[in-house]
């Protein structure tokens, strides 16, 4: 099952991909997390891409594609994958076709007010990368490794505005693209995590 999760920042793509990868036994591939990983793995490359991320801009298609291509060639992707944050442009969607394509694109529809609240409360563990909403961790510590959670540099208010703008202009047209391909499913993402998860299960267990 080759899945793409679509939706603006804060729509819950990462949250749902986390349980889906365990349940459907296919890897969760977040290009944003892979880019953030580069800060530790390859600081030289990260210096090149940091200014895009910190301003809420997209990194160049070719660069992200090289990173994704390597990841999709790994053996755990043989039976499928859940892409979170890729594709983000029509060009990336075309590039993905060349690598194995997509069975279904799941758009998580969420109201803008809800998204802002989620993004404002979003925290990430700088050590292991696990994501939280601040209301889940009153002591501000990662429940897996105990590190003090932080606000992602691109979740600051001035950057987040630009990320929404980039989403509307460049990424949202992918919804129409997958609709035209007959591969789009829409999920109401405004419920609780459990409610949205139940919708996703009903969709996927109904047969892709
Ligand atoms: P995310 O964690 O998916 O919100 O991504 C964080 C940031 O990483 C984005 O705002 C972009 O700067 C960059 N990024 C992640 N995925 C992509 C992609 N597919 N294409 C271009 N830039 C990306």
Q: What is the mean pLDDT of the chain?
A: 92
- Say what the pLDDT of residue 207 is: 53
Is there an atom of ligand 1 within 6 Å of 171 CB? no
Chain centre distance of CA 43: 22
Task: Provide the H-helix boundaries in 80-156.
Answer: 90-99, 112-120
* β-bridge partners, 82: 3, 28
| Cα separation, 154 vs 159, whole angstroms | 5
Give 202 Cα–ligand 1 centroid separation in angstroms: 28
pLDDT tens per residue across span 107-116: 999 988 888 8
**208 has a pLDDT exceeding 60:** no
CA distances from 204 to 83, 106, 184 (A): 15, 10, 12
Give 205 Cα–ligand 1 centroid separation in angstroms: 29
User: Is 179 tagged catalytic?
Assistant: no
Choose the residue to mutate in 31, 57, 96, 170 for probing ligand 1, maximizing ligand atoms within 8 Å of C-beta: 31
DSSP assigned state of 45: H
Task: Provide the H-helix boundaries in 42-111.
Answer: 43-55, 61-72, 90-99
Sign of CA dihedral 39, 146, 148, 136: positive
| Cα separation, 160 vs 154, whole angstroms | 6
pLDDT tens per residue across span 10-43: 899 999 999 999 999 999 999 999 998 888 888 9
Ligand 1 atom nearest to CA at 86? 19
| Cα separation, 132 vs 129, whole angstroms | 10
Is the CB of residue 9 less than 8 Å from the CB of residue 121?
no
- Say what the pLDDT of residue 113 is: 83
pTM of the entire structure? 0.90
Q: Whose CA is nearest to atom 5 of ligand 1?
A: 32
Is there an atom of ligand 1 within 6 Å of 85 CB? yes
């Amino acid at each position: 099952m080759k899945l793409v999760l679509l939706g603006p920042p804060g729509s819950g793509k990462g949250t749902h991909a986390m349980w889906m990868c365990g349940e459907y036994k296919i890897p969760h591939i977040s290009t944003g997390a892979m880019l953030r990983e580069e800060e530790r793995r390859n600081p030289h490359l990260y210096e090149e891409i940091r200014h895009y991320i910190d301003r809420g801009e997209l990194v160049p298609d070719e660069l992200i594609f090289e990173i994704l291509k390597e990841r999709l060639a790994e053996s755990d992707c043989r039976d499928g994958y859940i892409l979170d944050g890729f594709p983000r442009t029509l060009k990336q969607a075309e590039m993905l076709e060349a690598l194995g394509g997509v069975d279904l694109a799941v758009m998580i529809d969420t109201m803008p007010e809800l998204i802002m609240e989620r993004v404002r409360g979003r925290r990430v563990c700088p050590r292991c990368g696990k994501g939280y909403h601040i209301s889940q961790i009153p002591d501000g510590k990662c429940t897996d490794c105990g590190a003090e959670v932080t606000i992602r540099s691109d979740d600051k208010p001035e950057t987040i505005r630009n990320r929404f703008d980039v989403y509307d202009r460049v990424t949202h047209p992918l919804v129409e693209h997958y609709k035209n391909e007959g591969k789009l499913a829409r999920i109401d993402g405004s419920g609780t995590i459990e409610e949205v998860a139940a919708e996703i299960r009903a969709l996927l267990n109904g047969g892709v």
